[in-house]
Structure 1
Amino acid sequence: MLANVENIYVPHTIDEAIHVLQEPHVRPLYGGVALHRESSLDVRAVVDLSQLGLDQHRAFDKGFALGSMMTLEAALAACESMQRRYPNARFLAEIIREEAPVNLRNTMTLGDLLVERRPNSILLTAFVLLDAQVDANGWPRFIHDWLSAPDVEVKSALITEIALEHGAENARYTFEKVARTPKDAPIVGAMAYVARDSDGIVNDARLAMCGVAEFPIPLSSVDEELIATNGNIEQALQRLQVNPTGDHWGSAEYRAAMAMVLARRVLNQTINITGE
């Protein structure tokens, strides 16, 4: 509950919304899921974003963008409608299905997801993997920069959309996790993207993980080694370094061990070398 909310603003322009959000104790109201879960007593007013047209998606030559007011279910439908044109949209649709059950997908928005920044979110992991860009307060930043931004900045910003690139036609994507049950959120998760040029040489390789840091992270040093060695997995994994914190779901040692297991597994699947 938001017990101390005294006012609801309903701006009709992006600039008006950004201006109102500069006031103290004012928060944007996306789907309401993030604010409800937080239930902060410091929030005195909320900004209703329903008049700003942020519940749409758009396609452009190099990729596509999803509005912050789109529910996860609407984002899923949008990605499915674009999957023949954009390989990244096809993969994203699969990930959105795994992110949450349908009842939550119908209420939670992308804005909620980007404000909460849950460390085990597989959709955020996919955004990290695909180098998504978050447009907030009128300027874009890469998702990893957004996830590591100060909490006060994230919670008061107006997120308008998140944009992704087209994706290579021959790219392979894989996600693996360890969890209590197959339907549960990951304790640790790993995700890989690998593309090759016309000669079969690896020209793009990416690894991202969740459950090993405060938020999902890219493993850039592994990516660089994979490209430099044309997909030598074992050599690249020598550069895998994570420093997880333990909790009641898994110790730091367990999370670090699973990170290596899962990284090897997803890279084997995407690079097409015999796995474990």
Structure 2
Amino acid sequence: MIPPAFDYVRPASVDEAVRALADAGEDAKVLAGGQSLLPLLRLRLAFPELVVDVGRIPELRGVRDEGDALVIGALTTHHDVMHDPLVRRHAGLLAAATETVADPAVRHRGTLGGSLAHADPAGDLPAVVLTLDAELVAVGPNGRRTIPAREFFVDYLQTVLAPDELLVEVRVPKADGWGFHYEKFHRVAQAWPIVGVAALVRRDNGHIAEARVGLSNMGSTPLRATAAEQALAGAGDPDAVARAAESAAEGTRPSQDPSGSPEYRAHLARVLTKRAVLTAAGMG
């Protein structure tokens, strides 16, 4: 289908982009890699009066080391994230999950910031940044603000970003010494996961000292499996991990759609949590 008519601007800086968004208000959409917005436009599910193309703003790209965290520009493509040596060394979970996103064409065009701002709970990366306890930095007319990932996603395809704010970077705490794994189930290659599980595990004396488990497609936002995280503390063998994983779906509200029932998704969450944690802990 042909998208509806809209005005188009291509700012050269973050300040120009914020001014354009502020002038247009809720009638503007941000275009980054275009992998989420362009399909919505073609299907006429989005009707912006203005599209603000931030794809040529160089300050929004790249990865830098800031001591205890990596700072990743919002326009950094999936391809660049998954191949960046700093990400692979200090945030391996993000690199591993990004390798599973869609297909090579999407990974070369799609961006980390675009994926997070789109806030699809079935996406791979929102649950991953939640698991990593990342922070997202936005710029608006009133300056910069830092938003914990746990506060960023508020509902289906909705975030706390105001219409005149632009996501500019993602701050990812280094996870040195943690085991990690991303496990997802989908019926066909390149499809959205029916359920995805991100796991980070820190072991001490052969037992799990701390575990973080993020869930994709188990509610209207990405979620942490907090009951499973608590149950995993102290687990020292695969049987203990399996018992803890049985609580992975507690507190979730998975949807009913042609891909599966809520009960089926809850079953997948338990199975995939067990697999992901065992692999992350080196017990698999």
What TM bracket, shorter-length normalisation? 0.7 to 0.9
Amino acid at match of 1:258: L
CA distance, structure 1, for counterparts of residue 38 and residue 6 of structure 2: 12
Q: What is the RMSD of the two structures over their aligned residues, measured on CA atoms?
A: 2.6
CA distance, structure 2, for counterparts of residue 136 and residue 203 of structure 1: 33
Q: Is the partner of 2:83 in helix, strand or coil?
A: helix
Counterpart for residue 178 of structure 1: 185
8 Å Cα contact 1:226-1:233 kept in structure 2: yes
8 Å Cα contact 1:34-1:115 kept in structure 2: no
Which aligned segments of 4 or more residues in structure 1 are displaced greater than 6 angstroms? none
Counterpart for residue 60 of structure 2: 54
CA distance, structure 2, for counterparts of residue 28 and residue 230 of structure 1: 45
Counterpart for residue 20 of structure 2: 20
Deviation at 1:114, TM superposition (A): 1.5
Counterpart for residue 4 of structure 2: 3
Which of 216, 223, 226 aligns to 1:217? It is 223
Amino acid at match of 1:173: F
Deviations 1:118-147 (A, max 9, x none): 222222222121111111122111223212
Runs (5+) with no aligned partner, structure 1: none
Counterpart for residue 195 of structure 2: 188
2:162 is aligned with 1:151: no
Amino acid at match of 1:5: F
2:254 is aligned with 1:253: no
**What does residue range 229-240 of structure 1 map to in structure 2 within 5 Å?**
229-230=234-235, 232-233=240-241, 236-237=244-245, 239-240=247-248
Deviations 1:89-119 (A, max 9, x none): x332222111121111111122321222222
Deviation at 1:175, TM superposition (A): 2.3
CA distance, structure 2, for counterparts of residue 15 and residue 182 of structure 1: 39
Deviation at 1:192, TM superposition (A): 1.3
Alignment CA distance shift 1:181-1:6 (3 Å): closer
8 Å Cα contact 1:57-1:65 kept in structure 2: yes
CA distance, structure 2, for counterparts of residue 143 and residue 115 of structure 1: 11
Alignment CA distance shift 1:184-1:65 (3 Å): same
CA distance, structure 1, for counterparts of residue 31 and residue 101 of structure 2: 21
CA distance, structure 2, for counterparts of residue 267 and residue 33 of structure 1: 31
2:74 is aligned with 1:68: yes
CA distance, structure 2, for counterparts of residue 267 and residue 41 of structure 1: 39
Deviation at 1:182, TM superposition (A): 5.4
Counterpart for residue 42 of structure 1: 47
Amino acid at match of 1:128: L
8 Å Cα contact 1:244-1:255 kept in structure 2: yes
CA distance, structure 2, for counterparts of residue 181 and residue 7 of structure 1: 36
Q: Is the partner of 1:204 in helix, strand or coil?
A: strand
8 Å Cα contact 1:56-1:70 kept in structure 2: yes
Counterpart for residue 114 of structure 2: 112
Which of 111, 131, 134 aligns to 2:133? It is 131
Which of 168, 172, 192 aligns to 1:164? It is 172
Q: Is the partner of 1:254 in helix, strand or coil?
A: helix
Identity, % of aligned pairs?
A: 24
Amino acid at match of 1:265: R
Deviation at 1:181, TM superposition (A): 3.4
8 Å Cα contact 2:28-2:48 kept in structure 1: yes
**What does residue range 198-209 of structure 1 map to in structure 2 within 5 Å?**
199-209=205-215
Counterpart for residue 263 of structure 1: 273
2:123 is aligned with 1:121: yes
Query: What is the TM-score of this pair, normalised by structure 2?
Result: 0.82
Query: What is the TM-score of this pair, normalised by structure 1?
Result: 0.84
User: Which shows bigger deviation, 120-129 or 40-49?
Assistant: 40-49
CA distance, structure 2, for counterparts of residue 70 and residue 237 of structure 1: 34
